[in-house]
Structure 1
Amino acid sequence: MPLHAENFQVYPEALGPGTEVGTWRVMERLGVGGFGAVYRVEDMARPGEFYALKLALRPGDERAEREVTLLMVKAVHPNVVRFHACGRWPHPQTGYLYFVMDWVAGRPLDTWAEEVNPNFRELAQAVGKVALAFHALHGAGVRHRDVKPVHILIREADGEPVLIDFGIGDYAGAATITEQTVPPGTVHLRSPESVRFHRANHGRPGARYEHQPTDDLFALGVSLYRAVTGHYPFPPHLPPDMLYLAIEAQTPPTPADFNRRTPRALSDVIMRLLAKQPQERYPTGAELHAALMAAVSFGKSVAWEASLFEWDEKQGTELEPSAAPRRRIRRPEWPTYSGTPPAPRLVIAPALPFVRRPDRRDVVELGQEPPVEAPPVHQRLRSPVLVVAVLLVGVVGLAAWGMLLLEGGVAPDAKVPSPPSNVVTRPAPLREVAPVEALPEAVPATAPPMVEATGVAAAPLAALTKEDAPVMKESMPSASALKKVGMKALGVAGACLNLACSGPQVRPAPPPEECPPGALEAMKELGIELGDAQVFVFDVIKGEPHVITVREGNAIVRLGDEWKGLRGGGLLYGKLHLADRVYGRFTWLRTGQGRTYPVCIELLSSSRERGLERKPGSDADSAIIWTTGRANPVDHFE
């Protein structure tokens, strides 16, 4: 017996099989979204012909009306789902809007990639056709605005890709429906520029992001990344603020770096689609299609004919040992490193000795073989800061010498013993400084070339007052004059040192803060014990540790796998606070297996002090820090 709407209350998202909507009979529900429910229906006038019917969840929904306009007029294309009919139900004037489309018997892009496991050539050809469809749609002013794998169906009959679900689509000249800063959509497929706009304009009346063709192509790149690797480049399960940070700032590992079967040319196309700046991506779908076809044409055929993944043959279960093997792919593991390029390295100038190496004229004893001649040196002292330091050292030395003479350390008329006749005097050798190993955060470096001795400029006598002018006696200054000059020099030195010690004005340390809900329980589950600090490294760093510049705000650091319940390491998401030190408070952990947990972890320096030391060169808005330290689990933030 057919079911009629007048016999029961209507729930558009829950129509049972046999329900009649116009001339269509519901067979099964295919899915429910935020604005409509989709059913597979049969044409009652032509039994055995099946279609897809989308029913709005609210009467008078403007989005459903816009989708009808798009599919019926604006977005007509061979690779876009075909429109057939529309109406209102259960009342022809006030009922819920519905429309009927082709029922595409096929799989979403990511499911097709994993269940069919096509070769890379077939994938490139399918995505290339989607790119051409977008080129035509964008040329007509149409924006899909919700591109994702589930909205790209691969038809089983002929392998053709079909774009579906224009529920939040838009077209040039359409009226504004919502007043949101950015259009509705799926967060982990948003473009970096839309995220930046949202962050800069959230809450501002009238601020609206204009969706561009490059936004659709970025989302297509995310979908292609998912198909090739089995992973999304930006984990969808992250909290929204952390997900926004990853989209805006983090570069995912290239597909070829962890699915080694991926042709390098295809991997490069995907990474260009995911570029942070829209001008660095393919501007049109036609250019993307050309790039894909060129990659296939000029690449090695054996690489493009390989299937996306390796097959993992699973035998029958213990209950059914004779069952036929089940085929499923071996999903590549997510890499344990970031693809974000490292920040520019800060090169710290080494200490400069002001005595040149001995040359062939500096012979220790007459008749002895001279030392190996040093190469010519062309470096000169150019930094004003170092010049001031040299002057300061000279003035302080002069003062100390005068005070020493005054106290009787050396009599003005004392005789200095002459060296033996067979020895030529030379400058005293430099004392060694503390070795690199004595500095816990030092980076070994090769010894710099020596520079030639640089004279210290001194004020001419005419510039001195009568009181300061020294009285010459046997070419030696008097004790009283030396005392005065020494005291003035020490005063100047003290003033210079005071100036040098005045650092940037920094913010106060962050106030105490409780851990996020569930953090202590999650850490216990992961085997992370309070006070068990483990090594971390900032995720933007590759290679050996060094110093980087950071600012206050969101940050990501990478953990090792020392914690017994955390295999394969993980990523910590949190914030940095700039004060007398750089304090890090991290409240989310993403494991190497992709699971997310609330945590309560603060950063310690390598010497286990709370916060990271601000290196010289830091200012009020940024800090130079070492890239490694200790991640310390706590039960609250002090």
Structure 2
Amino acid sequence: MPLHAENFQVYPEALGPGTEVGTWRVVERLGVGGFGAVYRVEDMARPGEFYALKLALRPGDERAEREVALLMIKAVHRNVVRLHACGRWPHPQTGYLYFVMDWVNGRPLDTWAEEVNPSFRELAQSAGKVALAFDALHRAGVLHRDLKPAHILIREPDGEPLLIDFGIGDYAGAATITEQTVPPGTLLLRSPESVRFHRANHGRPGARYEYQPTDDLYALGVSLYRAVTGHYPFPPHLPPDMLYLAIEGQTPPAPADFNRRTPRALSGVIMRLLAKKPQDRYPTGTELHAALMAAVSFGKSAAWEASLFEWDEEQGTELDPSTAHRRRIRRPEWPTYSGTPPAPRLVIAPALPFVRQPDRRDVVDLGQEPPVEVPPVQQRLHSPVLVVAVLLAGMVGLAAWGMRLLEGGAASDAKVPSSPSNVVTRSAPLREVAPVEALPEAAPATAPLMVEATAVAAAPLAALTKEDAPVMKESKPSASALKKVGMKAMGVAGACLNLACSGPQVRPTPPPEECPPGALEAMKELGIELGDTRVFVFDVIKGEPHVITVREGNTTVRLGQGWEGLRSGSLLYGKLYLSERVYGRFTWARTNQGRTYPVCIELLSSSRERGLERKPGSEADFARIWTTGRANPVNRFE
């Protein structure tokens, strides 16, 4: 039996199946937003034809009227959802405004990326079409102002992208509806310049941010970042004020740095879309489209044909055989460590008995199982420098042997005196003395995924020349031959020394950087004086201080001692940089009461040196450090 509005109270956000709105019958509710509810409806005059009907939540809603005007006149494009009808319900004059659009049988961009797992080429082509749609809209004076993955639908079966939901859209010449500082929208996708304007002008009468096409393109960059990596550039769970600070001042890791399947060219395009300054982004959709197509055309075909993510196959069980062959993506972890294993490292020789392997309790990794113990014969040497040192010692010994023969001669029956045997014992794990300052319970830093290195065959140290070839003679070697052998050994030793010098490359020291806006004022308010250091410990580290393993990236530390307005136990949020030391720069703080402030604090060692010392066992892409140090307020990161 049809449901008529005059028979009951109207709740536009909760229409049941069978409700008749004009000549349309509700089939199901698709979603509810801040200004309207969307339903899948059937055309009662043409049964079997389905559309999407959006119903305003309030009578006389000017925003709904603007969206109708946009879709009917301004935003007409093949990649924008089409408008078919509009009216008011239940009363034709005073009722709620509704309009009927195409019902797009498809998935939002992020869902499509994870469930279909398309190739990078398909994603780039879809993004290019969206870029051209925005170019046409912007030239017509139309701004979407609320672009996000859910508002880009990928239609089945042709894969065509369609822009939907212009509920807070705007166009040139339109009347002002709200008096807010910035337009309503989703905080995660706001541009840095809009965030900066909001922070500087919030509450100021008459201050209104002038939304630009580059704001739409920034939001498209965030949406593509989400599609390629499975994550937003900044954690959505951050409190709003911390999220503002991150958007305005922090640079997220490039997609290719942790989803290493991503072509570098595509990663570069996305990062340019996320540039902090609008003039550093693509100014128009046409230029963005050209950049995407150039990246696909000139890149390696195999990389672009690869799917966005690796698949994880689910095995069926006897209780639930329906799960057999079901697949889901393997989402890269962010930002703690890369979900894609790094390239194998060159390993020259197996581990020697006296090489201490990292203590299992020293490796910190949130949510990661402890590494499995490997039998000694399968262990790999973790320090190429130590290997080179062993080879260097052998080469020097060979050179010395040759020179001794040259100087004193050597009888064919001479015996080498045996040296006393060295007794090798496994020492206890290295522990350092904790600083005298009192420490609270603490926490893990950015923890790496410790990847077992793959052994490869070692190349010959040097090729013998014709003069070096052994000659079968009963007489002792000539002086000239022995001299050549000795000099060759010394040369090889020198080559090994050079190899050691060009081993794991040390990253450069981070460049100078200004403090985030408002940091110095906030620190003054909190009673934090420049140079007045306090003890910190990496967050969630429990128990006695010890050595942990960290990678470059975002991290959190907890104050063991506090300042007047930032007490012991407060959290500092920032980033670690790996160089000859481990440098930490922290740009916001959170009090024990949950309030957040911009700050400008760097990490010092316990001896008050800038940066933390890299302990033995560190490599170019990770470092082993002590869990505590000093937090030092500064007026600029040097």
User: Which category describes the TM-score, using the shorter chain as reference length?
Assistant: 0.5 to 0.7
Kept in 1: contact 2:314–2:325 (CA 8 A):
yes
Does structure 1 residue 69 correspond to structure 2 residue 69? yes
Kept in 2: contact 1:589–1:599 (CA 8 A):
no
Counterpart position of 1:88: 88
Question: Structure 1 residues 287, 549: closer, same or farther in 2, change over 3 A?
Answer: closer
Counterpart position of 1:169: 169
Counterpart position of 2:42: 42
Counterpart position of 1:103: 103
Question: Structure 1 residues 533, 30: closer, same or farther in 2, change over 3 A?
Answer: closer
Counterpart position of 2:206: 206
Paired residue type of 2:29: R
Question: Structure 1 residues 21, 216: closer, same or farther in 2, change over 3 A?
Answer: same
Partners in 1 of 2:603 and 2:550 — Cα distance?
Answer: 23
Unpaired runs of 5+ residues, structure 2, are: 339-433, 447-505, 524-535, 577-588, 594-598, 612-625, 632-638
Counterpart position of 2:520: 552
Does structure 1 residue 179 correspond to structure 2 residue 179? yes
Partners in 2 of 1:201 and 1:128 — Cα distance?
Answer: 35
1:121-200, aligned counterparts within 5 Å? 121-200=121-200
- How many Å apart are 1:162 and its aligned residue? 0.2
- How many Å apart are 1:325 and its aligned residue? 1.8
Question: Structure 1 residues 28, 530: closer, same or farther in 2, change over 3 A?
Answer: farther
Question: Structure 1 residues 173, 531: closer, same or farther in 2, change over 3 A?
Answer: same
Partners in 2 of 1:298 and 1:545 — Cα distance?
Answer: 32
* Residues 403-435 of structure 1: CA deviation (Å, up to 9, x unaligned): xxxxxxxxxxxxxxxxxxxxxxxxxxxxxxxxx
Does structure 1 residue 270 correspond to structure 2 residue 179? no
Does structure 1 residue 333 correspond to structure 2 residue 333? yes
Counterpart position of 1:281: 281
Partners in 1 of 2:537 and 2:191 — Cα distance?
Answer: 24
- How many Å apart are 1:136 and its aligned residue? 0.2
Kept in 1: contact 2:218–2:274 (CA 8 A):
yes
Kept in 2: contact 1:554–1:573 (CA 8 A):
no
* Residues 416-473 of structure 1: CA deviation (Å, up to 9, x unaligned): xxxxxxxxxxxxxxxxxxxxxxxx99xxxxxxxxxxxxxxxxxxxxxxxxxxxxxxxx
* Residues 529-556 of structure 1: CA deviation (Å, up to 9, x unaligned): 971356879xxx986799987553679x
Question: Structure 1 residues 242, 598: closer, same or farther in 2, change over 3 A?
Answer: closer
Paired residue type of 2:250: Q
Partners in 2 of 1:573 and 1:85 — Cα distance?
Answer: 57
Kept in 1: contact 2:181–2:207 (CA 8 A):
yes
Q: Which has the larger radius of gyration?
A: 1
Question: Structure 1 residues 584, 161: closer, same or farther in 2, change over 3 A?
Answer: farther
Does structure 1 residue 117 correspond to structure 2 residue 117? yes
* Residues 590-615 of structure 1: CA deviation (Å, up to 9, x unaligned): 999xxxx9874999986779xx8999
Counterpart position of 1:241: 241
Partners in 1 of 2:257 and 2:231 — Cα distance?
Answer: 13
Partners in 2 of 1:117 and 1:202 — Cα distance?
Answer: 41
Counterpart position of 2:555: 571
Counterpart position of 1:319: 319
| The one of 426, 433, 440 aligned to 1:531 | 440
Paired residue type of 1:16: G
Partners in 2 of 1:545 and 1:34 — Cα distance?
Answer: 43
Partners in 1 of 2:565 and 2:85 — Cα distance?
Answer: 66
Question: Structure 1 residues 274, 573: closer, same or farther in 2, change over 3 A?
Answer: farther
The aligned length equals 421
- How many Å apart are 1:234 and its aligned residue? 1.5
1:350-389, aligned counterparts within 5 Å? none
Partners in 2 of 1:210 and 1:152 — Cα distance?
Answer: 24
Partners in 2 of 1:9 and 1:61 — Cα distance?
Answer: 19
Kept in 2: contact 1:63–1:167 (CA 8 A):
yes
State TM-score, norm by structure 1.
0.60
Kept in 2: contact 1:535–1:630 (CA 8 A):
no
Partners in 2 of 1:543 and 1:584 — Cα distance?
Answer: 33
Provide the aligned C-alpha RMSD in A.
4.1
State TM-score, norm by structure 2.
0.60
Counterpart position of 1:11: 11
Kept in 1: contact 2:148–2:223 (CA 8 A):
yes
Kept in 1: contact 2:261–2:303 (CA 8 A):
yes
Shifted more, 36-45 versus 599-608: the winner is 599-608
Partners in 2 of 1:55 and 1:335 — Cα distance?
Answer: 40
Paired residue type of 1:85: A
Partners in 2 of 1:293 and 1:182 — Cα distance?
Answer: 33
Kept in 2: contact 1:27–1:40 (CA 8 A):
yes
Unpaired runs of 5+ residues, structure 1, are: 339-439, 442-528, 616-626, 633-638
Equivalent position SS for 1:203: coil
Counterpart position of 2:585: none
Partners in 2 of 1:27 and 1:288 — Cα distance?
Answer: 39
Partners in 2 of 1:558 and 1:579 — Cα distance?
Answer: 15
Paired residue type of 2:32: V
Question: Structure 1 residues 590, 21: closer, same or farther in 2, change over 3 A?
Answer: farther
Kept in 1: contact 2:604–2:630 (CA 8 A):
no
Equivalent position SS for 1:552: helix
Counterpart position of 1:22: 22
- How many Å apart are 1:237 and its aligned residue? 1.5
Paired residue type of 1:185: G
Equivalent position SS for 1:30: strand
1:478-557, aligned counterparts within 5 Å? 531-533=440-442, 550=515, 551-552=519-520
Counterpart position of 1:215: 215
Kept in 1: contact 2:183–2:209 (CA 8 A):
yes
